[in-house]
Amino acid sequence: MKKSINVLLLVSIVLALSFSIMGCSKPAPVAQAPAAPAAKAPVSDGSEDLKIAYQVNLAKEDMDNYFSFTGNIRYMAVEKDHADAVTGASALGSTHLFQAYLYDVEGKNTLSSGLRGLFLFGVNPFSQLTGDALNASKASDGTITIQYAHRGTAYRIVTDKTGKLSFPNGTFEQRAIGYIAGSAPQVISKDFSADGTTATIDWAKVWDSKVASGTLVDDKSTKKTGDITRSADSADSMYYFDGSLMVTLENDILGINGSLTAVGR
């Protein structure tokens, strides 16, 4: 009997020690994954990734009109492109070559499509300028405002007081004000034009947000007018252009010159 008691006592002691050890043990610390580094804001390195030189006469046909650009995309460069006297198209292909800078490889805008449209007036006949009602004015404080309407969309580009056009946050605006059917002249809503043509566009009304949007342009189409929106780079494009271009307006000659830097997002 004494032997049995001793065995039971020994078992009790072992169990007590086991529970004591288990109670005192702590779970092993769980390794924490390192915190992801904060995303860095895109930074421009100031490189000249797109150079622009442009001149257009706003008052008459001019053989000195041109559009030049060169950048970091191989073969996508043109020196003093102009309107072909026979076809009226760009003689050196700026119309399609400049697309390489307007869009990234996913087809998202890297800069304003309205600016690209403005550049192409340098390689089009004067009839295109009048048909799209291209105009520019310089205010007493030095601000230059450029406006035109192409295929039913109005565009406005505005510099600062020094004539500088800044990227990516400059003033580039657009608004749907009409439509075009085939090669016919544009049809403009009479909310913005007395006779429905580009010749009588009231630009003050175009850029007045109090003039309602969403109205039918006319009774021959389902096209409607739109809100004033920015005509700029896409927020999710792979890169955008940073920097500034200098705009000049002297004796009806509009000039744009400078270089821009491509900045990855």
CA atoms of 81 and 69, how far apart (whole Å) = 9
- What does the pLDDT look like over 77-114, one tens digit per residue? 999 999 998 888 999 999 999 999 999 999 999 999 99
DSSP 156: E
CA atoms of 123 and 67, how far apart (whole Å) = 7
Give the helix, strand, coil percentages of the chain, each rounded to 5: 20, 30, 50
CA atoms of 109 and 240, how far apart (whole Å) = 8
pLDDT score at 184: 84
- What does the pLDDT look like over 137-191, one tens digit per residue? 999 999 999 999 999 999 999 999 999 999 999 999 999 999 998 888 999 999 9
Element (H, E) at 240: strand 239-250
CA atoms of 66 and 15, how far apart (whole Å) = 96
72 Cα distance to chain centroid: 19
Is the overall model pTM greater than 0.95, yes or no? Answer: no
HSE, CB side, 13 Å, CA atoms: give it for residue 84: 10
